[in-house]
Structure 1
Amino acid sequence: MRIRLPLSILLLLTLLVSGSGLTAVSATSANMAVAAVGAAPPKTSLLQQHVERWIGQLSKNDAFHAWRGAGYETSPLGPGTHSWLVLVKQKKVTVGYLVVQALDDGGLSLGEYGLGSHPLYDAIVLRGAIERLELERAPLSAVREYVHPLLAVWKVKTDSDSFEYADAASGEWLPLGEELWKETRLAEANVLGDGLRSLTAALTTMRTNEPFDVYDRMPWLTASPLSLSMDAEGSGRSAGRGAGGGAGGEAGGQAEVSFTLPALLDSDEQIRYAAERYEGTALFVWSVIGYHGWNEGTVYAALQSSGEEDHVRYIPLTLLARLGSFYR
């Protein structure tokens, strides 16, 4: 039997976060609770200063024009991750998001940001995911868990001792059990993406290319990845073989070349990014359609999923290089 969640559940999934950092709302009609669990925000002025600085800088980019004059709502991600989801709102409509992460030294970092009306942990996306499970009854709870951009899920409790895990962006169900989730989370708890930290951060370079079908070619199956190393400015300098090297093989006799990922995108190259996650049980693939460069030297790559032209995620290039591979 397929279950269709009532409108009341969708409304409850718009999470309201109290000052203590925990709000759980029970839905008697569907026997489901949605919890926003996490650390209380840092001093309001510090969080506001960073968020408003970053929003102001990004709104200068034409692609982020909807952010000009926008407001925002903040709620914690968790549990125990010291991260916050900031939804950017224009006349009550979500137009993008940021994820802010607390650092051990008391500072804040911009973990990722993006465009679109259905950002990370979107209630409508979750509702569709739950309907695809075709459960006999509604889930008991759904909790947002965020470690870093490539380790972000909805943890959905389907009965008293069972959990399902859905990707926080797409809502796709992941081949994850509780043990594998705990192992992956523990192993990557200290993975940082070298995101922005400074209150004086300024957006200095921007590039947005035309969207393309990431599956039009699948070089992650047939070709060697670009061999990336980060230069002093974090710009993603790549040292690799010339075209023609297949997966697992050498491009014999060809001279080694060096270039930066931004330079490739500036030349309208179609770059793809692929990451095998959860002990190789899941493969994530995105089109790389642009980048942002900041005065601190931080570069965020713009990733887009197939068929989602209105939704773009900007993730630190250093984190992407650490956890996956880029392909021409």
Structure 2
Amino acid sequence: MTRRFLPFIAALLSLMLLSSLAYAQDEASWDKQFQKQIREWMDAIASRDPQFKQWQDAKTDVQTLGAGQHQWLVSIKKADKQVGYLVIGESPDSTSHEKFVLLEYGVGEYILFDDAFAPKEIAAEPVYDGFASYWLITQKSDTQMVNAKTGEMYPTSFQISEPAIDAFAGEQLIQNGQRLTQMRILSAAESDPFDHIGWVSQLSTADTDVSWNQLWKQDYASPVTLAVPIHQSQVLAPFVVGSLHLWNDQNAYVGVWDEGLRFVPYSYAHRVGRFFVNETSSPAE
């Protein structure tokens, strides 16, 4: 090695070291902001909605959802008991200042992608898509989906749909610094959507359109049902609406009963499903 190459090699090594240090600093800064945002949202929900009081001083664990999706599942535990979860995304227009969005959150013992329901002894990739979330199992030329909430294995003939949750702009989702400002409980106790089946007879009728204002302001004598066709309408998933959340007095989220309460953006729920008021129920006079 001649002397004239030594300055070049030294400069290259210095550049590599500086790049490595800068990357480590950026990663540490990102993680700090991410953890701070998790705690802020948890505190905002727990302090405003008594159904989430167990979230106070709870511990968290984070796992990545899918490869390159910029989505994370935050499981929440207190005294070694599962008490809820968050699904957080990173806004695609994030630059030097991270902008996280809250895609979904829920309270209760059963969370999305719970290890208790995960496929055993098979490599499975978690894929988040709101109500249609699933584990994807790939074996040779076949693919199969497993419901991310219940662990139900769907037939191999089921087709994967284009993700619906990705179609929503960041301004329709909870972002950094936003607070839960209002809430309303429609159904305080978990109930089965088939306990009141008036909505079933309405499936074949003209589209209903229960607006956010109707959900928020009107009092119904019977539960309101959200029916969501998933996986290219091969499955119909009905849910009883339990609670409503309003963030910064503008971003609306709907909480439905599904082995606990799970909250998704109203804009998403209204797009992928239909809200039904049972024929036997009517707004209170």
Calculate the TM-score normalised by the size of structure 1.
0.67
* Letter paired with 1:196: I
Give the direction of change, closer, same or farther, for the CA distance of 1:66–1:104 in structure 2 (3 Å limit). same
Distance (whole Å) between structure 2 residues aligned to residue 150 and residue 213 of structure 1: 17
Contact 2:186 2:223 in 1 (8 A): no
SS at match of 1:74: strand
Contact 2:184 2:216 in 1 (8 A): no
Give the direction of change, closer, same or farther, for the CA distance of 1:41–1:289 in structure 2 (3 Å limit). farther
2:142 aligned partner: 162
Question: Residue 197 of structure 1 is aligned with which of 164, 171, 175?
Answer: 175
2:11 aligned partner: none
Quick check: 1:88 aligned with 2:83?
no
Contact 1:273 1:288 in 2 (8 A): yes
**Deviation of the 1:160 alpha carbon:** 3.0
Contact 1:272 1:327 in 2 (8 A): yes
SS at match of 2:175: coil
Alignment of 1:87-236 (within 5 A): 87-106=75-94, 107-126=99-118, 138-139=121-122, 141-146=123-128, 148-157=129-138, 159-175=139-155, 177=157, 180-181=159-160, 184-185=161-162, 188=164, 190-192=166-168, 194-207=172-185, 209=187, 210-223=189-202, 224=205, 226-229=208-211, 236=212
**Deviation of the 1:84 alpha carbon:** 0.5
* Letter paired with 1:283: L
1:14 aligned partner: none
Question: Residue 54 of structure 1 is aligned with which of 41, 48, 65?
Answer: 41
Quick check: 1:293 aligned with 2:271?
no
Give the number of aligned pairs: 240
Kindly report the root-mean-square deviation, in angstroms, between the aligned alpha carbons of the 2 structures: 2.4
Q: Which runs of 4+ in 1 moved over 6 A?
A: none
**Deviation of the 1:93 alpha carbon:** 2.1
**Deviation of the 1:176 alpha carbon:** 5.3
Contact 1:175 1:281 in 2 (8 A): no
* Letter paired with 2:146: A
Distance (whole Å) between structure 2 residues aligned to residue 192 and residue 79 of structure 1: 20
SS at match of 2:195: coil
Contact 2:254 2:263 in 1 (8 A): yes
**Deviation of the 1:62 alpha carbon:** 1.2
* Letter paired with 1:304: W
Contact 1:58 1:203 in 2 (8 A): no
1:74 aligned partner: 62
Quick check: 1:314 aligned with 2:268?
no
**Deviation of the 1:185 alpha carbon:** 2.6
Give the direction of change, closer, same or farther, for the CA distance of 1:267–1:189 in structure 2 (3 Å limit). closer
* Letter paired with 2:133: A
Alignment of 1:243-262 (within 5 A): 260-262=214-216
SS at match of 2:208: coil
Task: Choose 1 or 2 for highest CA Rg.
Answer: 2
- Listed as ranges, the gaps of 5+ residues in structure 2 are 1-26, 278-285
Greater helix share, 1 or 2? Answer: 2
SS at match of 2:146: strand
**Deviation of the 1:92 alpha carbon:** 2.6
Q: Which moved more, 1:190-199 or 1:93-102?
A: 190-199
Give the direction of change, closer, same or farther, for the CA distance of 1:55–1:196 in structure 2 (3 Å limit). same
* Letter paired with 2:126: R
2:255 aligned partner: 302
Give the direction of change, closer, same or farther, for the CA distance of 1:227–1:86 in structure 2 (3 Å limit). same
Distance (whole Å) between structure 1 residues aligned to residue 235 and residue 114 of structure 2: 21
Distance (whole Å) between structure 1 residues aligned to residue 225 and residue 156 of structure 2: 25
**Deviation of the 1:42 alpha carbon:** 8.0
**Deviation of the 1:201 alpha carbon:** 2.1
